[in-house]
Chains A and B, each alone.
Chain A
Amino acid sequence: EAQVTQNPRYLITVTGKKLTVTCSQNMNHEYMSWYRQDPGLGLRQIYYSMNVEVTDKGDVPEGYKVSRKEKRNFPLILESPSPNQTSLYFCASSLNRGNEKLFFGSGTQLSVL
């Protein structure tokens, strides 16, 4: 089944403790992206990747890192999480470029205490 898989679904952590949220897609998509979703706000892009070893900042990149060493994986790294990064995070992918149908993962609810 074609899908975008995120792990974990839920994560509670404390300020300053490094964490990684994994994202994997099995559709051979070139484009991958991370978003955060907060109440009253639309999805906001954190980082995106056009292909392996190519990553770029979105609208809200501060406090986040990403890497794209393989086509299928696009992990989101929080080196020193803070409470304002408490949010619902989504990974998405599309076949190529960015203006194609975006497929989303099921989300990761992160709470930073």
Chain B
Amino acid sequence: GESVGLHLPTLSVQEGDNSIINCAYSNSASDYFIWYKQESGKGPQFIIDIRSNMDKRQGQRVTVLLNKTVKHLSLQIAATQPGDSAVYFCAAYFTGNQFYFGTGTSLTVIP
């Protein structure tokens, strides 16, 4: 079946440093990707998305990079803050009207 995975289950960074969270997907036909942030006890919160006709997209303090050749997605968070501590996961949309989700990377920001 389709799979979406994250490279590291946990990541710790110093406050102010940049964070990079990675994700790999299996289906080259996937054409839409989303990064979500999930805080404890809350639902997933949309961060940023990217379609397959792009390889980079920037938001406020966040950048998503898409490498379709190796089927890899990354989320970069600039100047990481304590409020960024959460679980981050990627979602890849495959034909068949559904997303497949990674298991998540738990980001801890050390003050």
Contacts and interface: CB of A to CB of B under 8 A. Distances in A.
Interface in B70-111: 89, 91, 93, 97-104
Contacts of A35: 101
Most chain A CB within 10 A, of B45, B49, B89, B99, is at B99
Interface residues of B, number: 24
A44 B102 CA distance: 10
A59 B64 CA distance: 27
A97 B91 CA distance: 16
Nearest to B42: A106
Interface residues on A, range: 20 to 34
Contacts of B91: 43, 102
B103 A102 contact: no
Q: Is the interface of A mostly helix, strand, loop or mixed?
A: loop
A103 B45 CA distance: 7
Nearest to B46: A101
Contacts of B97: 31, 48, 50, 56, 97-98
Contacts of B43: 4, 90, 104-107
B31 interface: yes
B98 A101 contact: no
B101 A42 contact: yes
B103 A41 contact: yes
Contacts of B1: 59
30 contacts: A35-B101, A41-B103, A42-B4, A42-B100, A42-B102, A42-B104, A43-B89, A43-B99, A44-B101, A45-B99, A48-B98, A50-B97, A56-B97, A58-B98, A59-B98, A90-B43, A90-B44, A98-B93, A98-B97, A98-B99, A101-B34, A101-B49, A102-B91, A103-B46, A104-B36, A104-B43, A104-B45, A106-B42, A106-B43, A107-B41
Given A31-B97, A42-B100, A58-B98, 9 more contacts: A40-B103, A42-B104, A56-B97, A90-B43, A97-B97, A99-B32, A104-B36, A104-B43, A107-B43
Interface of B: 1, 4, 31-32, 34, 36, 41-46, 49, 89, 91, 93, 97-104
